[in-house]
């Protein structure tokens, strides 16, 4: 194949963006991938980065801030469900009435038997109660997707919940039945990164493509007319909802109209560096999520979570401010930074001015997979079926890096099948 890659920005990688300055490794986008999704780590190994894959630097300690206190997540807590009952029963994040309401899940009948999609929030509120939605699901899942679980599609975002209810009726029973057997490494984290940051994957992939003869064009917008030019046998759109629907508006208007139904949200990442003696004793090992009103949805202590992210004696922090938090997300830089620093002072005892700050705004580029997303995705693919254009990545098949890699590979394999 003769391949041309055209990127509108002056760098490759999209939301995957690592900056290295003054021995600080600053992630402006994602800092890791999940190890049980093999696509990203498999690609890293193909590119010779196997030895660069790293686990978190210490035992996994993640906190939830609830009632003004940092409380450790229950041991064996998955993305929503606890695999062991006792840590869940004893957690201070939930009140006794909250726990009793969650226990109703053991006797409630199935809710998803009709097969219709619904929001994650609606489903979990029925099975486990509204407190589990507010104090666990929204911080844990909503924090990843930058949206409330009341808006997120169960089938598009967490289809495992439907399978859990189908197989076990009760989600609590399902969590217990599917937990890993045998001895588990205490505090084991499913997250993996790369030495030097996730941008290493982009740099290595770009180099491999150039070595394979791929033409890479940076800083150039693709015009919609290219789709009808006949210049290319196949065209793969991987720029997200906004660029994809714009390019398809005249060529396949039906697909563009369906893509327009995917809401786009915004999120901001604030990175700060402090001297160790500026940080109080309240620092969590890896950070915390917010289960109460706050100017951030969570904080990551990058220098504690990953090796080599900051020089000895320096604490590197990342704060997340999604649009769902309201006005603070759109505040001017100075106001936003002041709010984040004040919050760090309140929770961690941070004092004084940071030695480094970065504010990265991802504006209207975060797709929200609302109820019915999979049906709409199927309609988009059907509309494109008889054309030479396909869509991969966050517009349709997942906002995570493994999902983007997997969707692109499936499309390219189908093209290879046509050629053979």
Which tens digits make up the pLDDT trace of 152-164?
A: 999 999 999 999 9
**The pair of three-digit structure tokens given for residue 339, joined into one six-digit string:** 């709010």
> 85 pLDDT band (50/70/90 cuts)?
confident
> 187 pLDDT band (50/70/90 cuts)?
low
What is the helix (H) or strand (E) element at residue 19, kind and residue range?
strand 18-21
pLDDT of residue 42 exceeding 70, the answer is yes
Mean pLDDT of the chain: 92
> 179 pLDDT band (50/70/90 cuts)?
low
Residues 345-396 pLDDT 10s: 999 999 999 999 999 999 999 999 999 999 999 999 999 999 999 999 999 9
* First and final C-alpha spacing in the chain: 12
Residues 276-290 pLDDT 10s: 999 986 555 689 999
Are the beta carbons of 366 and 360 closer than 8 angstroms?
A: no
Mean pLDDT across 60-71: 86
> 420 pLDDT band (50/70/90 cuts)?
low
pLDDT of residue 220: 96
| Region of poorest pLDDT, from 65-79, 201-215, 254-268 | 65-79
DSSP helix/strand/coil, 71: strand
Question: d(Cα 298, Cα 288) in Å, to the nearest integer?
Answer: 6
Residues 393-417 pLDDT 10s: 999 998 899 999 999 999 999 998 8
In this prediction the pTM is: 0.93
Mean pLDDT across 236-248: 96
Backbone region of residue 230 per phi and psi (left: phi > 0; alpha: psi in -120 to 50; beta: other values):
left
> 81 pLDDT band (50/70/90 cuts)?
confident
∠ CA 343-28-203, nearest 5°, is 160
Comparing C-alpha atoms, which of 86, 164, 152 is closest to residue 127?
A: 164
Handedness of CA 145, 147, 152, 154 (dihedral sign): positive
pLDDT of residue 183: 52
132 contact partners, CB below 8 Å, separation of at least 6: 80, 94, 98, 102, 124, 125
Are the beta carbons of 319 and 329 closer than 8 angstroms?
A: no
> 177 pLDDT band (50/70/90 cuts)?
confident
For residue 92, report the phi and psi dihedrals to the nearest 5 degrees: -90, 0
pLDDT of residue 57: 84
pLDDT of residue 147: 87
For residue 382, report the phi and psi dihedrals to the nearest 5 degrees: -65, -40
Question: d(Cα 258, Cα 377) in Å, to the nearest integer?
Answer: 8
pLDDT of residue 185 exceeding 70, the answer is no
Are the beta carbons of 140 and 168 closer than 8 angstroms?
A: no
- Check residue 153 and report its DSSP letter: B
pLDDT of residue 283: 55
Residues 324-340 pLDDT 10s: 999 999 999 999 999 99
DSSP helix/strand/coil, 125: helix
In the block, residue with structure tokens 């020089």: 311
pLDDT of residue 88: 81
Mean pLDDT across 262-268: 95
Are the beta carbons of 61 and 284 closer than 8 angstroms?
A: yes
Are the beta carbons of 302 and 288 closer than 8 angstroms?
A: no
Query: What's the farthest any 2 CA atoms get from each other in the chain?
Result: 65
DSSP helix/strand/coil, 331: coil
pLDDT of residue 182 exceeding 60, the answer is no
**401-419 helix and 38-46 helix, angle to the nearest 10 degrees:** 70
CA dihedral 6, 10, 11, 16 (to 10 degrees): -100
DSSP per-residue string spanning 81-119: SBSSHHHHHH-SSS-HHHHHHHHGGGTPPPS-TT----B
DSSP helix/strand/coil, 348: helix
- Check residue 75 and report its DSSP letter: T
- Top mean pLDDT of 78-82, 173-177, 408-412 is at 408-412
pLDDT of residue 338: 98
Measured in whole angstroms, the distance separating CA 108 from the mean position of its chain's CA atoms is 31
In the block, residue with structure tokens 């606890």: 82
pLDDT of residue 184 exceeding 60, the answer is no
Question: d(Cα 243, Cα 311) in Å, to the nearest integer?
Answer: 39
What is the helix (H) or strand (E) element at residue 314, kind and residue range?
strand 314-322
**The pair of three-digit structure tokens given for residue 41, joined into one six-digit string:** 């780590």
């Amino acid at each position: 194949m003769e391949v041309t890659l055209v990127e509108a920005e002056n760098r490759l990688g999209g939301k995957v963006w690592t900056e290295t300055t003054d021995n600080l490794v600053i992630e402006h986008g994602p800092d890791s991938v999940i190890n049980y999704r093999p696509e990203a780590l498999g690609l890293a190994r193909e590119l010779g980065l196997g030895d660069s894959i790293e686990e978190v630097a210490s035992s996994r300690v993640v906190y939830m801030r609830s009632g003004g206190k940092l409380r450790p997540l229950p041991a064996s807590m998955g993305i929503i469900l606890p695999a062991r009952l006792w840590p869940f029963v004893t957690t201070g994040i939930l009140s006794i009435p909250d726990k009793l309401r969650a226990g109703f899940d053991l006797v409630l009948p199935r809710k998803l038997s009709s097969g219709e999609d619904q929001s994650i929030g609606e489903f979990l509120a029925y099975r486990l109660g509204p407190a589990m939605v507010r104090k666990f699901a929204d911080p844990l899942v909503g924090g990843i997707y930058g949206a409330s679980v009341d808006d997120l599609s169960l089938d598009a975002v967490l289809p495992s919940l439907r399978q859990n209810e189908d197989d076990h009726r009760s989600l609590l029973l399902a969590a217990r039945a599917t937990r890993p057997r045998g001895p588990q490494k205490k505090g084991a984290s499913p997250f993996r990164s790369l030495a030097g940051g996730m941008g290493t994957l982009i740099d290595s992939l770009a180099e491999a493509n150039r070595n394979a003869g791929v033409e890479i064009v940076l800083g150039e917008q693709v015009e919609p007319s290219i789709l009808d030019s006949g210049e290319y046998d196949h065209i793969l759109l991987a720029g997200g909802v906004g660029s994809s629907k714009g390019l398809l508006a005249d060529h396949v208007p039906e697909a563009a109209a369906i893509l327009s139904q995917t809401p786009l949200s915004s999120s901001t990442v604030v990175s700060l560096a402090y001297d160790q003696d500026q940080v109080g004793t309240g620092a969590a090992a890896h950070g915390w999520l917010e289960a109460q009103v706050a100017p951030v949805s969570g904080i990551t202590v990058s220098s504690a979570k990953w090796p080599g992210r900051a020089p000895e004696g320096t604490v590197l922090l990342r704060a997340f401010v999604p649009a769902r938090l309201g006005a603070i997300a759109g505040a001017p830089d100075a106001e936003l930074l002041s709010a984040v620093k004040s919050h760090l002072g309140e929770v961690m005892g941070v004092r004084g001015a940071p030695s480094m700050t970065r504010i990265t705004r991802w504006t209207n580029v975060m797709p929200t997979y609302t109820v019915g997303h999979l049906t709409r995705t199927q309609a988009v693919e059907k509309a494109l079926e008889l054309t030479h254009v396909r869509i991969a990545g966050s517009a349709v098949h997942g906002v995570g890096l493994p999902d983007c890699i997997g969707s692109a590979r499936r499309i390219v394999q189908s093209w290879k099948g046509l050629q053979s």
